[in-house]
Structures are given as C-alpha cells and as structure tokens.
Amino acid sequence: MTIVTTVEELEAIYGTAGAASLAKVAHHITDEYARIIEASPFCALATVGPEGLDCSPRGDMRGFVHIRDEKNLLLPDRRGNNRIDSLRNIVRDPRVALMFLVPGSGNALRINGRAVISTDQTLCDGFAVNGKAPRSVMVIEVGEVYFQCARAIARSQLWNPDNHVHAEGLPTPGEILSELSKGQVGGKSYDEAWPARAEKTMW
C-alpha cells in the first residue's frame, strides 16, 4: 500500500484549488451565509480534546443556532445523554468546526472557529422552549465560513425519499445496548419506553 505523507505529495496528486474554492471563504457571517444558518435545523459539531476527536449531531427547530453578530454564533446545549463529550473538549481546547445541512438543499455550510461555554442565565433563557432553558450555550467565534459544493449530497441522494432506509431493517438502540452489555442494559423494554421518555426530556 502506498501512503501519502507530505502536503507536496498531495498537491502533486490533486493539483491546486480553483478560484471559486478560494473566493467562497469569508471570515465573518455574510448576509448570504446567514440565510443558510437561519434555514438549518441540523448541524454536526466537531471538537477536539486530549482523548481525541468528537463529532456530535445538533438539531432543533429551524434557525436554532442564533447569529449574535457577524463574528459570533450562539448554540444552545439541549438535553442529551449527559456524556457532554463536546463540552469536555471545548473547556480544554476551544477549537470547533460546524457543518450545517438544510433539508432539500444540495449545499452544506462549514464554519471553523473557537468556542466558550456560557451559563449566563439571561442568555440561556433566550433559548427556552416550553419553559425549559438549556443549561449552557456555546458562544462560537467564527474564524472562517464557506459553503461545501453539492457533489457529496448529490451522489448520496440524501434527500431522495426513494433512497431512505426503513428503520425496521436496522438494529435498534435497545438491541445494541443489550448486545454490548450482555443483557444488563437495553432490550425491547428500552425501545418501547423511548417515545414517552423522549417526549418528557426533549427540551
């Protein structure tokens, strides 16, 4: 197996980036990029810490990531599994990356920056849903922002309902937990209780 080990080797294989690939990069949130953020109900959050890398899904109502100003975003930390992997990383290494998706759109939006975690009550209360505020909000300083071309989404036909996989053909969380814990956690009862548990703990 031939392994590429230098940037020079990579550039010899791939060549240089085109003019459009360079021109699309902004160092603040432009009006056009703001419209994509405001339309997105989902993003992936990548962080890094001493234990390694982490990528976490973040989803909410459309426009759930607020634009504080042209250099700063606000991302509420909604209820989850309390592993807080992303937050553990951010307090030790502030570097973050975000990728926003908009259902039906072929383009993705990428943001690289640095984050801090705020527990300011006024800030958290601004994200309250059904009277429940997040316990913290990430304040993300934008370093660079740019759109990703549509090839990956087009190739995957991500938004084509004819290509959607039926959940019945995939292992359930309860089945996975039961297998990994040798039956101590999970199972059918875990899956059956999930809808009611999710409804009570969504926010």
179: its two tokens: 């297998």
Give Rg (Cα) of the chain: 20
Please report, rounded to a whole number, the percentage of residues in the chain having pLDDT higher than 70: 100
Q: What is the mean pLDDT of residues 117-121?
A: 98
> In the prediction, which pLDDT does 203 show?
86
**Which helix H or strand E contains 68, and what residues bound it?**
strand 66-69
> In the prediction, which pLDDT does 167 show?
87
**Which helix H or strand E contains 118, and what residues bound it?**
strand 108-118
d(CA 152, CA 158): 9
For 195, counting Cβ atoms within 10 Å of its Cβ (0-12 exposed, 13-18 middle, 19+ buried), the class is exposed
Q: Which residues contact 30 (CB under 8 A, 6 or more apart)?
A: 70, 145
> In the prediction, which pLDDT does 188 show?
94
| Residues across the chain | 203
- Nearest CA to 139 among 119, 164, 109, 168? 119
Q: No. of H helices and E strands in the chain?
A: 8, 7
Amino acid at 179: E
Domain assignments of the chain as residue spans, ordered by start? 18-156, 165-201
Q: Read off the pLDDT of residues 11-55 as tens digits, 9 standing for 90 and up.
A: 999 999 999 999 999 999 999 999 999 999 999 999 999 999 999
Q: Read off the pLDDT of residues 165-203 as tens digits, 9 standing for 90 and up.
A: 988 889 999 999 999 999 999 999 999 999 999 988 898
- Which CATH code, of 3.40.50.970, 2.30.110.10, 3.40.50.1000, 3.40.50.450, is assigned to 18-156? 2.30.110.10
- Between the CA of residue 17 and those of 20, 106, 143, 168, what are the distances in Å? 8, 21, 20, 43
> Would you list the DSSP string of 15-40?
-PPPHHHHHT-BSS--HHHHHHHHH-
Q: Read off the pLDDT of residues 138-165 as tens digits, 9 standing for 90 and up.
A: 999 999 999 998 999 999 999 999 999 9
Q: Read off the pLDDT of residues 59-100 as tens digits, 9 standing for 90 and up.
A: 999 999 999 999 999 999 999 889 999 999 999 999 999 999
Phi-psi region of 77 (alpha: psi -120 to 50; beta: other; left: phi over 0): beta
